[in-house]
């Protein structure tokens, strides 16, 4: 259930359309990133996610990567960095992605050893609520 | 050896140009009949090299200039990314996985470049800059095609 809803940062930044949506879903921050998750988006995402994670006092983060076209080590670094913060706060991180190109990079980076990946947000949320392990 | 075809691009060291660089190389390479998945991997390799030039070479100083060339040879695609930035002190260590300098840079850039390309060569001089040369074999059929035409 959506306890509180907020949409953020769907706008233009340094000349490029940015697609970052952050929603507070109670104890989980739902972070939807679309487009190319590279250096340009990484700094902005890191800042906004951290700001919202603290402000909303949530525990978990769900990264919705189902709308991503591209990811490289800059984007992967943002995910790994958030994982470390969330873990310190005793929360959990989960990823939604069904794209084999993206999953291959998540695998190569070692992220899949730390963070469970589900093909969609519904299953990822179920994981967080403890229904799927 | 003379390149059959080549492009050269020069751009300031700003994050938006990482995308420009990989999309440009992908357009150049899309003429070469690579599988879509291989094109995606080439894009990651270019992204990593250009990101490093911007983040490490120039430390995001937009006054820095990055040059990128993509050349088609008879059996390979060669991509060269060059910066005239700070250079790499310990190249051997830099090339190892997990040797990132900042906490959230994972030291995966060179790993991805090596994994996704057939050859990786890095030349760097502290204070002078860094040149990354990457090569990918062409799919066989394309080689024949270019030589029939030329
Ligand atoms: N163009 C460059 N100029 C200066 N240093 C570089 C350059 N490219 C790479 N390096 C150095 O090599 C290290 C490893 O690079 P990389 O594998 O991409 O990992 P990361 O970028 O995550 O640190 C960097 O941390 C940096 O110290
Ligand atoms: Mg790098």
Q: How does the average pLDDT of chain B come out, rounded?
A: 91
Residue B148 lies in a domain: no
Q: How does the average pLDDT of chain A come out, rounded?
A: 87
Q: How many domains does chain B have?
A: 1
Contact B51 A105 (CB under 8 A): no
Residue B23: give the domain boundaries.
5-137
Percent of all residues in chain B with a pLDDT value above 90, rounded to a whole number? 81
- CATH code at B36? 3.30.565.10
Do the interacting molecules here have an ipTM over 0.85? yes
pLDDT tens digits along A29-77 = 999 999 999 999 998 899 999 999 999 999 999 999 999 999 999 999 9
Residues of A in contact with B115 (CB under 8 A): 108
Residue A14 lies in a domain: yes
B56: pLDDT strictly greater than 50: yes
- Between the CA of A70 and the centroid of ligand 2 the distance, in Å, is 16
Region A70-90: what's the mean pLDDT? 96
* Geometric angle at alpha carbon A50, from A46 and A53, rounded to 5°: 140
Q: Give the lowest-confidence range in A71-80, B91-100, B123-132.
A: B91-100
Predicted TM-score (pTM) of the model is 0.91
Nearest to A49 by CA among A74, A23, A71: A23
Q: In this predicted structure, what is the pLDDT of residue A19?
A: 81
Nearest to B4 by CA among B63, B58, B74: B74
Contact A40 B37 (CB under 8 A): no
Closest ligand 1 atom to the C-alpha of B107?
Answer: 19
Contact B111 A38 (CB under 8 A): no
Residue B110 lies in a domain: yes
Choosing from B80, B88, B103 the residue with most ligand 1 atoms within 8 A of its CB, the one to mutate for a pocket test is B88
- CATH code at A10? 3.30.750.24
Q: In this predicted structure, what is the pLDDT of residue A75?
A: 97
Residue A17 falls in which region: left (phi positive, over 0), alpha (psi -120 to 50) or beta: beta
Select the more confidently predicted residue: B72 or B150: B72
Polymer length in residues for chain A:
133
Residue A133 lies in a domain: no
In the block, tokens 């989960």 appear at A94
Residue A63 lies in a domain: yes
Per the structure block, which two tokens stand in for B115?
A: 């994994």
Per the structure block, which two tokens stand in for B85?
A: 């930035």
Residue B129 lies in a domain: yes
Q: In this predicted structure, what is the pLDDT of residue B106?
A: 77
Residue B150 lies in a domain: no
B62: pLDDT strictly greater than 70: yes
Residue B104 lies in a domain: yes
Residue A10: give the domain boundaries.
3-128
Q: How many domains does chain A have?
A: 1
Ligand nearest to the CA of B81: 1
What is the 3 state secondary structure string of chain B? CCCCEEEEEEEECCCHHHHHHHHHHHHHHHHHCCCHHHHHHHHHHHHHHHHHHHHHHCCCCCCCEEEEEEEECCCEEEEEEEECCCCCCCHHHHCCCCCCCCCCCCCCHHHHHHHHCCEEEEEEECCCEEEEEEEEECCHHHHHHHHHHC
B72: pLDDT strictly greater than 60: yes
What's the rounded Cα separation, in Å, for the pair A87 and B81? 37
């Amino acid at each position: 259930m959506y306890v509180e809803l907020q949409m953020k940062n769907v706008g233009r930044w340094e000349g490029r359309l940015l697609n970052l949506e952050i929603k507070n879903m109670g104890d989980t921050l739902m972070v939807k990133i679309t487009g190319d998750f590279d250096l340009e988006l990484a700094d902005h995402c890191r800042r906004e996610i951290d700001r919202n994670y603290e402000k909303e006092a949530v525990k978990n983060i769900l990264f919705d990567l189902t709308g991503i076209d591209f990811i490289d080590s800059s984007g992967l670094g943002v995910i790994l960095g958030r994982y470390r913060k969330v873990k310190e706060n005793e929360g959990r991180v989960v990823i939604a992605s069904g794209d084999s190109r993206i999953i291959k990079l998540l695998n190569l980076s070692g992220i899949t050893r730390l963070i469970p990946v589900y093909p969609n947000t519904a299953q990822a949320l179920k994981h967080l609520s403890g229904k799927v392990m | 050896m003379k390149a059959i075809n080549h492009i050269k691009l020069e751009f300031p060291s700003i994050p938006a140009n990482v995308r420009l660089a990989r999309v440009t190389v992908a357009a150049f390479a899309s003429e070469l009949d690579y599988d879509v998945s291989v094109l995606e991997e080439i894009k990651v390799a270019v992204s990593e090299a250009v990101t490093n030039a911007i983040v490490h070479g120039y430390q995001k100083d937009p006054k820095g200039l990055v040059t990128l060339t993509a050349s088609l040879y008879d059996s390979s695609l060669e991509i060269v990314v060059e910066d005239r930035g700070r250079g790499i002190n310990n190249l051997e260590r830099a090339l190892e996985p997990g040797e990132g300098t900042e906490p959230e840079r994972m030291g995966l850039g060179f790993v991805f470049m090596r994994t996704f390309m057939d050859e990786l060569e890095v030349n760097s001089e502290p204070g002078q800059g860094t040149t990354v040369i990457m090569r990918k074999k062409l799919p066989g059929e394309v080689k024949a095609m270019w030589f029939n035409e030329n």
